[in-house]
Amino acid sequence: MFDFQARTHYRTERHSMALALGIIAVASVGGMVEIAPLFTIDETVETAADMRLYTPLEQAGRDIYIREGCYACHSQMIRTLRDEVERYGPYSLAAESQYDHPMLWGSKRTGPDLARIGGKYSDDWQSRHLIDPRSVVPQSVMPSYAFLQREVLETASLPPRLAALRTVGVPYSEEQIANATTDALAQARPDGGAVDGVIDRYGEATNIRVFDGDPGRVTEMDALVAYLQILGRLTSLPYEIEQIVEN
């Protein structure tokens, strides 16, 4: 049997056309296995009626999260395994990531999964953890990001950044894009006069507060904490499914 396989392989290698056809056939099988499920994606991916968009401040925080490489140690995908659900919360749904570009799924966890981190800790805890991780988690190996509290958030580029996201399917309106800079600053200034506009454009559930503890300016720390505090809270669908399963 082994000799027959060896002879067949040898003969195939000597004929370039046969080898090319064999490679195409094998690659086609692999491609179909990956592509075929996409034909039924509308039937298999759930929809979340209450799914909302990231605010400009939260989107800026997400960009900082990616810029600093946080995704290299933290995944945002809770699998359906029992131990993961018990530790982190309801398993992740595809609908939750429909506006994420890029998506931050994965299983690499030097640090814990952050898919349900929103609201689990206070803004003060998040800020202190980013400034000095070991002050709140003694065993942490995370580096310090104290500089984020010193960096004033750059907001002038937010309108074109939201416009770019709209081109790939994120349904930001013209009004949301035009007011992106104002809304980002207003979300971290609860006493400002532009708060009503943020709520009108992004809903009553929007977090409006000073995230980094310094009301005098809006920093990169404000943006990153705002982003962390919304993770897992863009829709209630995972929690509704969890209740149905438990009952």
Domain ranges of the chain: 2-44, 56-246
Q: What is the pTM of this model?
A: 0.84
pLDDT digits (tens, 9 = 90+) for 181-230: 999 999 999 988 899 999 999 999 999 999 999 999 999 999 999 999 99
Most confident of 5-9, 107-111, 206-210: 206-210
3-class DSSP assignment, residue 47: coil
Cα distances from 31 to residues 24, 44, 61, 217, in angstroms, run 10, 19, 36, 51
Position 47 confidence tier, pLDDT thresholds 50, 70, 90? confident
Distance, in Å, from the CA atom of 140 to the CA atom of 165, rounded to the nearest integer, reads 34
Question: Is it the case that residue 4 has pLDDT exceeding 90?
Answer: no
Residues 101, 186: Cα–Cα separation, whole Å: 24
Provide the phi-psi class of 231: left if phi over 0, else alpha when psi is between -120 and 50, else beta.
Answer: beta
What per-residue confidence (pLDDT) applies to 127? 97
Higher per-residue pLDDT: 2 or 34: 34
Q: For 146-150, 187-191, 208-212, 240-244, which range has the lowest pLDDT when averaged over its residues?
A: 240-244
* Whether the predicted pLDDT of 9 surpasses 70: no
CATH H-level superfamily of 56-246: Cytochrome c-like domain (1.10.760.10)
